[in-house]
Structures are given as structure tokens and as C-alpha cells.
Amino acid sequence: MRTKDEILKGEPSPLFLLKCKTDFKFFCEQCLGVTDFGGIHPFQLKWFDLANKHKRLVIEAPAGHSKSEVMGAMYPLWLMLIKKDMKILLVNKTLEQGRANLLARIKKYISNNELLMELFTPDDYKATWNMSEIKTKNGHWVKNVPYNPNIRGYRADLIICDEVDSYEDVNIFFEHVTSRLFPDGQMILISTPVGPTRLIGQLKERSKAGLIDKYYFERTTSLVDMEGRIPIIENQEDINQYIAIWPEMWSVKKLYEAWGEQGKANWTRNYMTLCLGEIDDAIFPIKNVINCYDYNRGFNEECFKDAMYFIGADFAISEGPRADFDAYIVVEKLNGQYIIKTIETHKGWQRPEKVNRLYELYQRYSNSMDVFLVVDESNMGTMVMNDLRNKGIPVIGQKFHSSARTLLLTTLASVFSGRGIIIPRDSSADDESIKYSELLKDQLIGFRRKGLDNNSGNRDTIESKAPHDDIAMALAMAINEAIQHEEMGVMPISG
């Protein structure tokens, strides 16, 4: 433990603490003893300055540049020094990660520091402090929580999310994490980027579209030019032209060697915080999906007499919390463009409810061009088809074996690549278009090429990495049927 004498170095405690409260660099280096590799650097002080200006701060920083240490441990400790009665949540991908990271680091700084021990530790701290939370003498409560829906049981003045781009289900962040802040609370997101479809990419996309305006994005890179600007590095030899922001830890020489070990794409992501395009096995690149958004259009039930309508229905085939939903989607084909009119999902519906709702949708969009209803004929789907046909509704059955599923998705991907679909996303028109366009995007970008299907020649098989794929498959069925019809209506063939 560093003693008070070692920390204060003869300076009166009140004066020393005043310097700590007004000078973050002094606090880190003199109080916490962080002096290795040159201590606190300008790029790290910039993070601190931005945190004091913005209620929502997203820091993209290179691997190994102490982003979690500085902003996940030192910054909360500094706030705990200058404030009282704060509630702080430290969010990690897993609880185990948290035990090794943010809260563990905060506790280590305190336990190795006689001055901080006096300021923060209550008399019973050995019995009350544990791996998941601490309560300090001056009223602070710091809790380590894993990234899951259970976070909704807490509220906080400050939430720090570590390595946010590693979070796989981004909807947990939007639905649960953001709602945990007190009205004037602060949130800091820290990560080395993983890919454009992850949380930071989605926050940027929402910000660019004007859907959110609170977030400030700070991108830090290992190398800068003579003016401090971020360079574009195409070749390994270019590295030698630039300046390392942390030469004591990551010299130009070390960064040069890392390129040779990791390759261009990984190096650029890890040290220049830039993801070079999509991963090679993506079926639906996120840019193709985003390019189809219409921010001036919401869902609507308006029916045009010269349009054709296609309804895709994908039925849930299992039960439990991770079971798929029934997903129904209506696509309007007008002037060669496919427009999503509405999306809806239902859980736990029995067969009569499925039949009645699809019958209602069919009737709602019926016009002189007719309506084409395509349903998943596997499992309960066959019975739903028969019930609808008994009501006089012509239904097209869609098989879902591997090759048929692959064909559906590759056809849909081709339409997206040609910007042939319009996805409503106007938050002022309705909340549903935002909700379902987000779910659709999550499902689409979750599809990956897996390998060759021996039963279908050289065609790749496709697997989904997303929790659900029901909306995407309903859309794929509707679009696949739509492209088989010319603008003049053709009656569907039942069976």
C-alpha cells in the first residue's frame, strides 16, 4: 500500500486534495500513482475533458491504450472524490469480465492507497464490499452489472459501458440500459470497434439520421500526422510517416511490427479504430439495409388500386423466451418499387388467431390487382393454409428446407443491393416503423454464409447469428413472390 506520506510528500492534505479535485492529471499521477509509460497523456486528458462536457460520450480508442483504465476506473474515482452520494453502474459484457476489470480496478486503487482508504472505506468494508458492489463512507454506491435485461432493476447517476462493441444484442442497450439513468445522468461508452453493425455503428447511424442528438463521438487513433489529424494508412510502409500518440507504450516501431502480425484489416481496426468494410461472409451488408431507409415515411394502410400487395407470414415453431414470433409483413409493389407497408409480430397465438389475422390483412389490401399471401407451410403452417383456403383465400405455400431458404435469402439480398426496397423509418409518423425497421435490420445483418450445400450444387448455405429471423423470413417470402409477377396482376396458383 502507498502510504499517506508517500502520496502527500509533505504537502498538507487539504491542499493536495484540492489539487486532485481540480487537476485530473495530478490526481491520476500523484494520488493514484499512475506514472508508468509517461503517465497521463494529452489524448487521455481529452477523454476526461469531453466527459465533463457531454452527457452521452462514445469513445472509440485503440486496443491497449488504457481507455478502460482511464475512463472506467480513474474517472469514476475522481468523481467519487469531488461528489457525494453517487450511484454508479459499471456495465460489462459478462459478470466475470467485470470482476477482472472496472470494479476490481477501482477497489485495487482504493485498497493500495492509504489516503483513499481513509476517504472511501467504511469500518465494515471487509464484510460489505464484494466482487459486485461497494458502498463508500461518503455515500457512493458502485455496482458491477453484466449486460443483460436484469440491469433494469437499477438506476444510476453514471453508467459506464466497457467494450460496448462486443455486446451482441444491441436492443438490450436501447431498451434497458438507456432507461436506467436518472434524468440528469451521464453515460460513457468505451470500446475498440468491432464492426459497423455493432452498437457504436448503430448509434452513429441513428445520430446521422437525426434520431438522436445527445451522443458525442470521439475517435482516437494510435497514429496522427504532424498537425494531429487522423491519417489514412493504406500500406505498412506508410506507418513510418506518422507520430505515435503514446510512444512510451506503442512506438511507431511496435505499431509497424503489429501490422505484419495482424494484417491490414485487423491492424486498422485495433489501432486506427476503423473497420474496413463488412466481414466477407455477410449476406446483407449494413450499408445496403440503411440505404433502403425512408426517414420521411411511416407504416400506413393506404391501398392503391394500381398496386400489387404481397403478404409474407412466418410462424413460430417453438416455445420459450428465445422462440421466434409469428411475423406478418405486407409489401406493396408499385412502379417497380417494393414498399413495406406494415410489419407485425405476435407470440403465443393459436391457429384460429393466426388464420383470422391473415384473413383480415388479405381483406384490407384486396384491390383490382389482387393480393398474394405466402406462408411458411412447415409445421402448423399447412393447417393454417387449409383453414384460409376454406375461407376462400388463395394461399401460396413456401417450403423451408435448406436450399429453399438459401434461395429466398439470396434473392432478397439482391433486391437490397439494388436499393429495390423502401423501409419506412419516420419516428414522427409512428413508433412502430422505428421498432420494426430496427428489428429487421438486426435480423438481416445476422445472416452469414456458412459453406457449400451438398444438396444444391455450389450454392452457399446460410445461417443466422441473430436471436430471431422471423421478420426477415416473412419479408423474403413476400419479395420472392413479388418479383415473379409483372406490374399487371397475375392470379396466384394455390398449392
pLDDT level of residue 265 (50, 70, 90 thresholds): confident
Using alpha carbons only, give the angle 66, 100, 28 rounded to the nearest 5 degrees. 40
- 328 contacts: CB under 8 Å, gap ≥ 6: 311, 312, 313, 343, 344, 345, 346, 357, 358, 361, 474
pLDDT for the residue numbered 465: 76
pLDDT level of residue 79 (50, 70, 90 thresholds): very high
* Grid cell of 173 as nine digits: 442497450
pLDDT for the residue numbered 403: 85
Query: What does the alpha-carbon distance between residue 314 and residue 346 come to, in Å, rounded to a whole number?
Result: 11
* Grid cell of 60 as nine digits: 472509440
pLDDT digits (tens, 9 = 90+) for 174-188: 889 999 999 999 999
Domain with CATH 3.30.420.240 in the chain: 286-482
CATH class belonging to 286-482: alpha beta
Domain with CATH 3.40.50.300 in the chain: 4-220
- 182 contacts: CB under 8 Å, gap ≥ 6: 87, 155, 156, 157
With respect to CATH, is domain 4-220 assigned 3.40.50.300? yes
pLDDT level of residue 460 (50, 70, 90 thresholds): low
Is residue 59 predicted with pLDDT exceeding 80?
Answer: yes
- 223 contacts: CB under 8 Å, gap ≥ 6: 231, 233, 239, 242, 243, 244, 245, 252, 255, 271, 272
Q: Are 391 and 355 in contact (CB under 8 A)?
A: yes
pLDDT for the residue numbered 10: 94
Give the β-pairing of 181-191 and 156-162.
parallel
Q: Are 331 and 343 in contact (CB under 8 A)?
A: no
Q: What mean pLDDT is reported for the chain?
A: 89
pLDDT for the residue numbered 207: 84
Residue of 201, 182, 226, 246 whose CA lies nearest to 39: 246
Query: What does the alpha-carbon distance between residue 2 and residue 33 come to, in Å, rounded to a whole number?
Result: 9
pLDDT level of residue 452 (50, 70, 90 thresholds): low
Cα 69 to Cα 32, 97, 119, 191, distances in angstroms: 12, 14, 21, 12
Higher-pLDDT residue of 306 and 343 is: 343
pLDDT digits (tens, 9 = 90+) for 108-142: 999 999 999 999 999 999 999 998 999 999 999 99
Query: What does the alpha-carbon distance between residue 50 and residue 448 come to, in Å, rounded to a whole number?
Result: 38
Is residue 278 predicted with pLDDT exceeding 90?
Answer: no
Is residue 368 predicted with pLDDT exceeding 50?
Answer: yes
pLDDT for the residue numbered 88: 98
Higher-pLDDT residue of 479 and 206 is: 479
Find where cell 509509460 sits.
37
pLDDT for the residue numbered 489: 43
Question: Element (H or E) spanning 60, and its range?
Answer: strand 56-60
Cα 66 to Cα 36, 189, 201, 342, 456, distances in angstroms: 12, 14, 22, 46, 50
Over residues 56-77, mean pLDDT? 97
Higher-pLDDT residue of 100 and 342 is: 342
Higher-pLDDT residue of 405 and 15 is: 15
Find where cell 406490374 sits.
487
Burial of 47 (0-12, 13-18, 19+ CB in 10 A): buried
Question: Element (H or E) spanning 170, and its range?
Answer: helix 170-172
